[in-house]
Structure 1
Amino acid sequence: MRFYNRQEEVAAIKNLSVLSRKHAHMLVVYGRRRVGKTRLVLESLEPMYFFVDKKTSALLLKEFSEIVRVNSGSFVPDFSNWDDFIRFLFEYSKDRHLIVVFDEFQNFRAVDPAIFSIFQKYWDSYSDTSRILLIFVGSYIGLMKKIFIDEKEPLYGRSTAKIDLKPLNYRWVRKICIDMGFKSEEEIVKMYSTLGGTPRYYQLMESYGLDSYESVLKSMIFGKNALLQDEVRQILINEFGRNYTTYFSILEAASLGKNTLKEISDTTGILMNSLGKYLNELASTFDIMERREPLLGGKKMGRYFIKDNMVRFWFRFVNPNISFLESGRYEIALEQTISYLPAFVGRVFEDVATEIALDNLPFKASGIGRWWNRRGDEIDLVAVNEQTREILFGEVKWTNKTAGYGIMERLKKKKDLVNWHNGERKEYYLVVSKNGFTPELREIMDSEGVIGWDMQDIARMANL
């Protein structure tokens, strides 16, 4: 599969390569597994590349010594300790420009934790005189943050640049799917709701010749030896460590739509005064959840959501069906998933509509998001411009029913609950419907200037 997007990141890495010809630079690249960190670096540069496997120090040093010999084209002895190896890199780069990548850098903690202090020692001694670009790549976000952001760690404050590589957005996932031959916008939205924006998953689809959403579910998730069936579990257990069960319980609750502190506490049985610690770690340390506040609402009404679609899908449909999957009753797990899928995809479709809306509103938005109040009223999409006092209220529907006038009526009633420049604001309305609009609603929308998008409109506006 070809390389998609990441133009800004590629440009930043190439710029650091130029700058490091004068003095040393240290780039930290982190993000979840499969998101394309290694591919990004190798597409940008031709470095001396080291993969930090969980081996003994002696075996890893022997392997790295051979890599240095091959890349330098000169005699290099087998290094007997990490101090000699790291000093060599800095000494060697005093006379020539050197780009070095350590992939899965956090694994050094298992190999020999003293390595971080050795890097710090020689960085502090050689960073002004060596012409080296050190690139440290890591998949376990919590560990990578600890290594470089924790004040107690040796490498704290040493990096000169960092890239937090995020999953691709809907537009780029759509581009990948279109290039793979998918033609149905509905299929692509379902694909995005399940696999998210992780490029590696789409590369696997291409490798196995999967050409429909159903084939992806059967072959990659709910079949015998399915490639991604245990993917999320293994990634997160490695990330969380021995206390993963508490985090898993919170994530499963959130995947079921339990998004407030009280709802998560009631569902998991975790006391509210203990829950905040775990939620903060899931959001700030591990970057798996996020706390959202209602646009134009109170800060105390925040809700917690899983950021990654694949993680959310796994906790909603795979984890609760582990017993069926382990016993080979794949069809039951698949049937249950399909029956609840529309409501699940509907939430993701709201995010897709919000992404598309950012570039296609009748005004430039200074804020966009969902709105809700304590009573339980919700508006799927609200956008505002604070300076011009323009506001848009949007309803997003992922159902097989054609949207009728009732949707418009309910939206107009709910918009009066939003207390923002009342009597002075200019109001717009947007209705997004997977299955289009009834003739009655279409006529009213045309007469009142209401914006309406169906799947054809989404496809047109999402096209790159």
Structure 2
Amino acid sequence: MGFVGRARELGELERQLAVVRSGSRADAGVAVLVRGRRRVGKSRLVAELVERSGLPSVTFQAARGAPVAQELALLAEAVADSDLPGADVARGSTPTTLTAALTLLAAALPDDAPSVVVLDEIPWLLEQVDGGAGELQRVWDARLSRKPVLLLLVGSDLAMMERLTAPDQPFYARGTELVLDPLSPAEVAEMTGLGGGAAFDAYLITGGLPLVAQEWEPGEPAADFLRASLASSTSALVVSGTRVLDAEFGEVSLARQVLTAIGGRGERTFSGIQGAARGGPLNAASLTATLRALVDKRVVAVDEPLSSTSAPRNRRYRIADSALRFWLAFVEPALGEVDRARPDLALSRIDRGFAAWRGRAVEPVVRAALHRLLPGAGFADVSAVGGWWTRSNVPEIDLVGAAGASGPVRLVGTVKWRAGTPLRATEVDALAADAVAVPGVTAATPLVGVCPAGVEPGTPLAACWTADDLLGAWRA
């Protein structure tokens, strides 16, 4: 399969390269910081750019926790083995500081022609060097930025990449930031040849990861894709979650226990997560610190009930990393079965639990779609879309649209994610009865619905969106 789904991001990188080619800026060089979760295709994107450009280039990928001396030697070796005009300057060199290694890199770059430099997983290199960001900034200012080079700094740790360009950091305002998100539901639909609810099933299963989605045969039902993927211990679906987790968390780390409690056991509250860990309840302080770190890394998201009244004590946690949602729930528990060639056991478990899991997992995706669609659907001032619940989850409202956090409530709604039966009038009546408990809701607050099969004729809804309508949110 060819390069799919990254036209916008590739176009942005090509525009930055065009600036380098034109020589129209005071600084000849351009730096771009490319960040995104692991396995979303960052390395593939920059490799595609390098290949299409036809320019001399060098690519170096750092390794997490590797000795600094080894990393600096490998960086010099990558420069020496590249097709940069001055590559020989680095041959046989053993730089002992990051400044020395980057200075060698700068010396290898052409002075009068464009080139491309890719430093992949740059946070892993910088974290090994005291003051590494400062060294990068000094060499960029003094040498690299004076060469016609596109410097691509790539990283998977979102928090560390954001920190690199924070106002109090040395590299602040020295580069353009490009965020690479997982493929959207519409892009997954394009890759898999599916539409409607089936496209969203593919999105939830693949997590929007290109390497997983490209193994989905066009038009293939989800059951067939899962059967083929779980029959192989090397399929992209099986290995993706393991690689994401192993790269960032140890197998027996507290973070892994917390992720398993949330994603594997479906716990959403602090107390539920605390009690679900292996080996007994977790220490509250340790759990608080771990959840904070996972939220900072964008692996876990924390939601609060959305209404005209703030309710921070009623938080709920969910897996935010799309590569891990389905994997933690269904693939990780099946790894042993996959290894002993019993995918039928895993498939049976998925068949029993998928509908209930999907009903919860699709809600954040629905809210993201409506956040895009509502301005054009008569709800121009809705800037926050969430849900609302009580501590006991009775009642629980799937959709709340408000004019900002704790702002006026503009709509409430229900999500019934099923293919064969439209949203019923009785379900809308139940929504109306439950919605009065939401602070800020009145009898005049519009009711809306989401159902892949649509809504029964004559049902009193202000709007109802199907799965195809939601796909349109990412096609506009």
Aligned-pair Cα RMSD in Å: 3.6
Preserved CA contact (<8 Å) 1:9 1:163: no
Matched ranges for 1:166-181 at <5 A: 166-178=181-193
CA distance in 2, matches of 1:160, 1:215: 45
Partner of 1:211: 220
Residue in 1 that maps onto 2:385: 368
In the alignment, is residue 281 of structure 1 matched against residue 293 of structure 2?
Answer: yes
* Corresponding residue number in structure 2 for 1:66: 81
| 1:396 maps to amino acid | V
In structure 1, what is the equivalent of residue 340 of structure 2?
Answer: 327
Equivalent residues of 2:13, 2:49 under 8 A apart: no
Percent identity over the alignment is 24
Tell me if structure 2 keeps the 8 A contact 1:28–1:163. yes
- Counterpart residue number, 2:317: 304
Matches of 1:463 and 1:81, distance apart in 2: 50
Say whether 1:290 aligns with 2:301.
yes
Distance 2:15 2:445 in 1: 46
* Distance in 1 separating the partners of 2:359 and 2:49: 37
**Partner of residue 430 from structure 1, selected from 448, 463, 466:** 448
Q: Which range moved further: 158-167 or 448-457?
A: 448-457
Structure 1 residue 197: deviation in Å?
Answer: 1.8
Larger mean Cα displacement after TM superposition, 17-26 or 314-323: 17-26
Shift of 1:253: 1.6
Distance 1:452 1:84 in 2: 61
Q: Answer yes or no: is the 8 Å Cα contact 2:76–2:105 preserved in 1.
A: no
Question: Which residue does 2:120 correspond to in 1?
Answer: 103
Q: Residue deviations 1:405-443, cap 9 Å, x none?
A: 3211210111111121747xx421122223454xxx533
Match of 2:34, SS? Answer: strand
CA contact (8 A) 2:207 2:325 kept: no
1:265 & 1:75 partners in 2: Cα distance?
A: 57
Q: CA deviation at 1:149?
A: 6.0
Query: How far off its partner does 1:210 sit?
Result: 7.8
- Deviation, 1:213, is 1.4
Distance 1:335 1:202 in 2: 22
1:86 aligned partner, one-letter code: L
1:41 aligns with 2:46: yes
Paired with 2:106 and 2:256, the residues of 1 have a C-alpha distance of: 43
Partner of 1:246: 254
Amino acid at match of 1:408: V
TM-aligned CA distance change 1:395 to 1:174, over 3 Å: same
Task: From 198, 213, 232, give the equivalent of 1:187.
Answer: 198
Please give the TM-score of this superposition, normalised by the length of structure 2.
0.80
Partner of 2:274: 265
In the alignment, which residue of structure 2 is the partner of 1:405?
A: 425
Cα distance per residue 1:313-335 (max 9 Å; x no partner): 11111222333333332211111
1:336 offset after TM fit, Å? 0.5
CA shift, 1:337, in A, is 1.3
**Residue 396 of structure 1: CA displacement?**
0.7
1:231 aligns with 2:240: yes
Cα shift at 1:373: 2.3
Instruction: State the shift of 1:350 in Å.
Output: 2.5
Q: Separation in 2 of the partners of 1:211 and 1:301? A: 41
Q: Give the partner amino acid of 1:49.
A: V
Distance 2:162 2:299 in 1: 14
In structure 2, how many angstroms separate the alpha carbons of the residues matched to 1:128 and 1:187? 48
Q: 1:346: how far off?
A: 1.4
| 1:354 pairs with one of 367, 371, 385 | 367
Pair 250,117 (structure 1): closer, same or farther in 2 beyond 3 Å: same
Unaligned runs of 5+ in 1: none
CA displacement at 1:218 relative to structure 2: 1.8
Counterpart-to-counterpart distance in 1, 2:93 and 2:474: 55
- Give the structure 2 partner of residue 7 of structure 1: 8
Q: Deviations over 1:228-249 (max 9, x none)?
A: 3132122212212x47531122
- The CA deviation at 1:84 is 5.4
1:372 is aligned with what amino acid? W
**CA spacing shift, 1:123–1:340, aligned 2, 3 Å:** same
8 A Cα contact 2:413 2:447, kept in partner:
yes
Q: Work out the CA distance in 1 between the residues paired with 2:333 and 2:301.
A: 22
Letter in 1 for 2:464: G
Deviates more, 1:315-324 or 1:454-463: 454-463
CA contact (8 A) 2:450 2:466 kept: yes
Deviation at 1:353, TM superposition (A): 2.9
- Secondary structure, counterpart of 1:230 in structure 2: helix
Which residue matches 1:382? Answer: 400
Label 1:185 to 1:114 Cα distance change in 2 as closer, same or farther (>3 A). Answer: same
Aligned to 1:391: 410
Aligned with 1:220 (options 229, 235, 255)? 229
Question: Which shifted more, 213-222 or 2-11?
Answer: 2-11
Q: In the alignment, is the contact (CA less than 8 A) between 1:30 and 1:163 conserved in 2?
A: yes
Q: Distance in 2 between matches of 1:398 and 1:164?
A: 30
Moved more, 80-89 or 196-205: 80-89
Could you tell me how far 1:119 is from its partner in structure 2?
3.4
**Higher mean C-alpha deviation, range 134-143 or range 163-172:** 134-143
CA contact (8 A) 1:222 1:229 kept: no
How far the C-alpha of 1:30 sits from its partner, in A, is: 1.8
Q: How does 1:443-458 map to 2 (within 5 A)?
A: 443=458, 445=459, 448-455=460-467, 457-458=469-470
What displacement does 1:187 show?
1.9
Alpha-carbon distance between aligned partners in 2 of 1:369 and 1:77, rounded to the nearest angstrom: 54
Return closer, same or farther for 1:463/1:112 CA change in 2, 3 Å cut-off: closer
Per-residue CA deviation, residues 359-391 of structure 1 (Å, 9 max, x unaligned), is: 153321222111122342211111134799662
**Distance in 1 (alpha carbons) for counterparts of 2:475 and 2:32:** 33
Report how far residue 116 of structure 1 moved.
6.3
SS, match of residue 434 in structure 1:
coil
Distance 1:58 1:459 in 2: 48
- 2:76 and 2:90 in contact (8 A); partners too: no
Q: Tell me by how many angstroms 1:250 deviates.
A: 1.1
- Determine the C-alpha separation between the residues in 2 that align with 1:332 and 1:42: 39
Measure the CA separation in 2 of the matches of 1:60 and 1:112.
14
CA contact (8 A) 1:324 1:333 kept: yes
How many Å apart are 1:454 and its aligned residue? Answer: 4.0
The answer on whether the counterparts of 2:9 and 2:180 sit within 8 Å (CA) in structure 1 is no
Query: Structure 1 stretch 231-240 or stretch 215-224: which is displaced more?
Result: 215-224
Summarize deviations over 1:21-78 as a string: whole Å, max 9, x none: 53144322121222122343355563513132659555653342121xx232886561
